[in-house]
């Protein structure tokens, strides 16, 4: 369950600015960022949502680290070589991208989204960008295929880094992620 959350969690976006010719322009997203987050997951049939807190770190070309710190500990990392996770009980799992073809697609979606790469996202989603005064909103609707069987819609708002992500699931669940204390870097250290 947490794996799918992490896979859509940290889409980065650029602030909208008015170019010299009067056309709204979007500068590239941050090359690296870190933030804390609050994730609220509502599930059909449950009256109380599941709420977790944690931290995310992203570096273009370096991957992502998604860590839930409360109410339990869970760690998910992904880079060009694969993914690793540490479950609340301490069990660790590693998947090598070379031996799991499906992981390569997840990497393109996840890391492309974190980098604000709408071209990469366009392989899997119908993408609509809406410039906003202090950033933009990105709406993602899955193209027909496996993604459309699980995800109904994803909405992301933010500036150089994401501020809010909402994932509507086909089964009726909603994942709402709010980012706080974001720190963006123009270049990767």
CA 135 to each of CA 38, 117, 156: distance values in angstroms, whole numbers, following the listed order:
21, 15, 11
CA 40 to each of CA 24, 30, 71, 172: distance values in angstroms, whole numbers, following the listed order:
33, 25, 12, 14
- For the whole prediction, is pTM greater than 0.95? no
pLDDT of residue 131: 85
> Which CATH number belongs to the domain containing residue 124 in this structure?
2.50.20.10
CA 45 to each of CA 49, 50, 96, 106, 167: distance values in angstroms, whole numbers, following the listed order:
10, 12, 36, 29, 18
Token pair in block for residue 117: 């790469």
Asked, for residue 32, whether it belongs to a domain, the answer is yes
DSSP tag of 114: H
Asked, for residue 95, whether it belongs to a domain, the answer is yes
Angle value at C-alpha 153, between 9 and 84, nearest 5 degrees: 30
pLDDT of residue 11: 32
Spatial distance between the Cα atoms of 35 and 163, rounded to a whole number of angstroms = 9
Token pair in block for residue 170: 């086909």
pLDDT of residue 47: 94
Asked, for residue 62, whether it belongs to a domain, the answer is yes
Asked, for residue 132, whether it belongs to a domain, the answer is yes
Asked, for residue 189, whether it belongs to a domain, the answer is no
Asked, for residue 77, whether it belongs to a domain, the answer is yes
pLDDT of residue 165: 86
pLDDT of residue 187: 54
Tens digit of pLDDT per residue, the chain (189 long)? Answer: 444 444 443 333 333 334 444 444 555 567 788 999 999 999 999 999 999 999 999 888 788 899 999 999 999 998 888 899 999 999 999 988 777 777 777 777 776 666 667 887 888 899 998 887 778 888 989 999 888 998 899 888 887 778 888 989 999 999 999 999 988 876 544
Total structural domains within the chain = 1
The boundaries of the domain holding residue 72 are 2-182
pLDDT of residue 9: 39
């Amino acid at each position: 369950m947490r794996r799918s959350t992490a896979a859509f969690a940290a889409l980065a976006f650029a602030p909208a600015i008015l170019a010299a010719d009067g056309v709204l322009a979007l500068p590239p997203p941050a090359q690296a960022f870190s933030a804390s987050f609050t994730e609220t997951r509502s599930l059909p049939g449950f009256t109380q949502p599941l709420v977790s807190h944690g931290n995310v770190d992203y570096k273009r070309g370096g991957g992502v680290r998604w860590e839930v710190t409360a109410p339990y500990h869970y760690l998910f990392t992904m880079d060009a070589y694969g993914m690793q996770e540490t479950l609340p009980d301490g069990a660790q799992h590693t998947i090598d991208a070379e031996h799991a073809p499906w992981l390569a697609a997840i990497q393109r979606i996840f890391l492309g989204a974190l980098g604000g790469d709408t071209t990469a996202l366009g392989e899997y989603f119908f993408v609509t960008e809406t410039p906003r005064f202090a950033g933009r909103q990105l709406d993602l609707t899955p193209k027909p295929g496996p993604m459309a069987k699980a995800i109904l819609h994803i909405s992301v708002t933010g500036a150089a880094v994401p501020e809010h992500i909402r994932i509507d699931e086909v089964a009726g669940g909603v994942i709402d992620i709010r980012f706080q204390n974001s720190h963006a870097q123009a270049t990767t250290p």
